[in-house]
Structure 1
């Protein structure tokens, strides 16, 4: 009974803290709306994303065509919200892969002194290359496809998270409760997951939001350069790449998918900054 009452007290407190941070609340609201539009695209989109209508090609935005049409007469509004599905999927999947690889490398490097030197050199070597160049190299080596882009971006951004996890693990492994767990004979894997990893949730969440945004921007950049997802697959990046040939003639072909990327990335940045302030006890103000 006491636990139930305690949880009922904590829930309003968390929601109040979120609402007090306008950047976090605004970022969450925007990303939720964009996600809902993408998920409910089959119900919201007035046309199929691949429906051709040559007689209506390059129509400007109007009551019939909210965002106008492209060079094949396809409705850009429908394609934009459908493209959000794959763009968000690439960002989420790349972030999940980066988190899995980065957390593993960071824990190993930070907890085991002998492995620290080797893993740290690998991380430094990967971060020495610009993100987009390393992604292009990986996609070129593996072959362009949706899965390849996800793997490439996951590998590219894993070192960012690995460095954060390693730095925090180096501090946590020397704390008294970790030493006590070792003295009691607690298995190493249990110490790493139960005592170390649980204390890294806050920085991991914050970094994950930034990596999500970076991955979406990188996917758009790869598609724009023609080395990402196949042009037949609608993503915000491929739509911008297709519209660059008609800049000045049909600006709406690049404006609306570009705005979708900007709003999504901006909202993720706002969420990341808000979570950092909310989860960091040095920055959080008690009510």
Structure 2
């Protein structure tokens, strides 16, 4: 009786979690990482940028659980605080790219005259490898968290736009859209009420993948030295700093690497689960 009142998508997700333990594990991992990042000031035993030269390059032990870096900064504290920046970049990039991608995708998919110019611009942007386009944009804007978010939002907007356009092309030909036009419903009302509401499912799935891609891209940019300022703790900047000491202090890149791997893997698993739960054809098989 309790599940009867839930929306079909939520019922499908609950069934999926019951059948696929990997989805439940992915959600647990994401929850733990998000809580650790949110509670970083209370969890971290040291300030993330507190220097202790006498304790530099100490291996994991009782005082410093995950060891220290070349400046004596506590790795555990930096990993926890770095999660806040890395997750923020992923969330904001996913949000902004979804907003702009949906806007351009709806225009291209619903208005035939705008389809060709918008699609050509999207194809031109996607012709460049993501990381190369991101490097060029960050190099032009300058290295900072805000500029990385702007650059990655521009990079991943075309991906969302293509998904939104493809879904809109299907929805606009359906009977209820034609009926709304015949009744004199305004174009923008049709877009918002009849089209956008029915393409939310693939967009939500795409947003989870964009989240993961953005975190990996931020780490790649920081590793190459063109992303976030090195003084700002992110998992990417930590891996970049630890790469110089990989043979003598491997823990400097091990733990931030584990953190970003777990987070991205969990996002991919949850994204696959959402796709299966929200797809009507797949949900019937659950």
TM range (shorter): over 0.9
Check whether the contact 1:67–1:76 (CA below 8 A) recurs between aligned residues: yes
Q: Deviations over 1:90-129 (max 9, x none)?
A: 0000111110111001000000000000000000000000
After TM superposition, list the pairs within 5 Å mapping 1:183-194 onto structure 2. 183-194=182-193
After TM superposition, list the pairs within 5 Å mapping 1:1-287 onto structure 2. 7=5, 14-285=13-284
Q: Over the residues paired in the alignment, what is the CA RMSD in angstroms?
A: 1.8
Residue-pair matches, total: 285
Check whether the contact 2:205–2:272 (CA below 8 A) recurs between aligned residues: yes
Q: What is the deviation of 1:18?
A: 2.9
Check whether the contact 2:13–2:273 (CA below 8 A) recurs between aligned residues: no
Find the residue that maps to 1:283 and give its secondary structure.
helix
Q: What is the deviation of 1:13?
A: 6.9
Where structure 1 has 5 or more consecutive residues not aligned to the other structure, the ranges are none
TM-score (norm 1): 0.95
Check whether the contact 1:24–1:275 (CA below 8 A) recurs between aligned residues: no
Find the residue that maps to 2:283 and give its secondary structure.
coil
1: CA distance, partners of 2:142 / 2:74: 30
Q: What is the deviation of 1:283?
A: 1.3
TM-score (norm 2): 0.95
Where structure 2 has 5 or more consecutive residues not aligned to the other structure, the ranges are none
1: CA distance, partners of 2:50 / 2:89: 24
2: CA distance, partners of 1:6 / 1:127: 43
1: CA distance, partners of 2:93 / 2:13: 29
Q: Deviations over 1:158-208 (max 9, x none)?
A: 111111110110010010100111111111111111100111111001111
Check whether the contact 2:37–2:84 (CA below 8 A) recurs between aligned residues: yes
Find the residue that maps to 1:282 and give its secondary structure.
helix
Q: What is the deviation of 1:272?
A: 0.6
Check whether the contact 1:243–1:251 (CA below 8 A) recurs between aligned residues: yes
